[in-house]
C-alpha cells in the first residue's frame, strides 16, 4: 500500500497537468490516495471536471500548459484549497514520424507542450512554493521518457523534447534546492495508454516499443510519487532498459545497426500476439 505523504492536520494541494486520462489520471489517483487536495487539469476542461469527480479530486480545471499566466492562475486556485505541495508536469503530445516528414505545426506543438509547457509549470509552481508563509518546499514531478536516453528513429522530435526536460530536471534539482523544492523525473519505457495505442500498428516505432516493456499508467504513477519527499532526481523504468538506452547513446554509430534488429524483434512479438 502506498504511504501517505500528507498528514490530515496539514493538508497540501497538488496540481497534475494532462490528467483527464492515461498517466496523468493515474498520478492524480495516486496523489488523492496519499492525502493531497488534487487539482486535475487538462486542455479539455470538461474531461478534467469529470475525472476529478470520478477519482475524488478537489477540483477539475481547463489548462493550456503553453500559457504561462494560465499556469499561474491554476497555482493560485490550488493554493485556495491548501498550501501547494506538489506540481506534476505530465501533459504531452506526440506526433509519429521522421523530422523531415512532420509538419511545422506538429513540431511546434511538441516543443511548445512538451518543453515550454514544463518550463511554465515549473515557474508557476516554484513561485508558489516560495510565497507560502510558514509552509516550505514541495515536489515537482516531470514526465520524461526512456527516449530521452537514446536514439529513437521515427520519434526524433518527441525524443528530443524528452531529453530536454530530463536535462532541465537535473539542473532544476540544484537550482531549486535552496528553496527546499525537490524536482524529480520519471523516464518510462512504453506505457499502455491511448497515445501508444494510436501509433501506426504497422510502423517501426510500435515495433520498437514492442521489443521493450509495456508498463501500466499505475506503475509509472507510483514510481514517480514514491520519489516525492526524497532526493532522488530521476528514475528509468525498468532500470535495465535505461542501462541499455544509455549504452546506445554512448555508441550512436553502433545503435544505427542495432536498431533494425530491435524493430524486427518487436515486429515478431506483435505478430505472435496477433496485433499485426
Distance CA 12, CA 6 (A): 7
How many residues are present in the chain? 276
In this structure, what C-alpha cell is assigned to residue 208?
520498437
Can you point out the beta strands (E) in the chain? 13-16, 37-42, 59-62, 84-89, 138-143, 181-188, 234-237
Cβ(215)–Cβ(189) below 8 Å: yes
Q: Pairing state of beta strands 181-188 and 138-143?
A: parallel
Please tell me which residue in 36, 120, 129, 158 is annotated as part of the active site. Answer: 158
Distance CA 82, CA 37 (A): 7
Cβ(224)–Cβ(184) below 8 Å: yes
158 in catalytic set: yes
Q: Which residue has the cell 520519489?
A: 227
Distance CA 155, CA 68 (A): 27
Distance CA 102, CA 63 (A): 26
Q: Pairing state of beta strands 84-89 and 138-143?
A: parallel
Can you point out the beta strands (E) in 17-56? 37-42
3-state class of 43 per DSSP? Answer: coil
Phi and psi at residue 166, to the nearest 5°: -70, -45
3-state class of 37 per DSSP? Answer: strand
Active site members: 158
Amino acid at each position: 500500500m502506498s504511504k501517505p505523504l500528507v498528514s490530515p492536520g496539514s493538508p497540501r494541494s497538488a496540481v497534475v497537468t494532462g490528467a483527464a486520462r492515461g498517466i496523468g489520471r493515474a498520478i492524480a489517483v495516486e496523489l488523492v490516495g496519499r492525502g493531497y487536495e488534487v487539482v486535475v487539469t487538462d486542455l479539455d476542461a470538461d474531461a478534467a471536471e469529470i475525472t476529478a469527480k470520478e477519482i475524488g479530486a478537489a477540483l477539475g480545471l481547463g489548462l493550456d500548459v503553453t500559457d504561462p499566466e494560465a499556469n499561474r492562475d491554476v497555482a493560485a486556485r490550488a493554493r485556495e484549497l491548501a498550501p501547494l505541495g506538489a506540481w506534476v508536469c505530465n501533459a504531452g503530445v506526440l506526433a509519429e514520424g521522421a523530422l523531415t516528414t512532420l509538419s511545422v505545426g506538429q513540431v511546434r506543438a511538441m516543443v511548445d507542450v512538451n518543453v515550454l509547457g514544463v518550463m511554465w509549470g515549473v515557474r508557476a509552481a516554484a513561485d508558489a512554493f516560495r510565497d507560502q508563509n510558514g509552509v516550505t518546499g514541495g515536489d515537482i514531478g516531470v514526465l520524461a521518457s526512456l527516449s530521452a536516453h537514446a536514439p529513437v528513429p521515427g520519434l526524433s522530435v518527441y525524443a528530443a523534447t524528452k531529453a530536454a526536460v530530463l536535462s532541465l530536471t537535473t539542473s532544476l534539482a540544484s537550482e531549486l534546492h535552496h528553496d527546499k523544492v525537490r524536482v524529480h523525473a520519471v523516464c518510462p519505457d512504453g506505457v499502455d495508454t491511448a497515445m501508444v495505442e494510436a501509433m501506426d500498428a504497422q510502423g517501426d516505432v510500435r515495433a520498437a516499443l514492442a521489443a521493450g516493456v509495456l508498463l501500466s499508467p499505475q506503475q509509472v504513477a507510483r514510481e514517480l510519487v514514491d520519489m516525492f519527499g526524497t532526493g532522488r532526481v530521476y528514475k528509468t523504468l525498468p532500470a535495465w532498459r535505461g542501462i541499455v538506452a544509455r549504452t546506445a547513446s554512448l555508441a550512436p554509430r553502433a545503435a544505427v545497426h542495432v536498431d533494425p534488429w530491435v524493430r524486427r524483434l518487436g515486429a515478431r512479438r506483435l505478430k505472435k500476439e496477433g496485433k499485426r
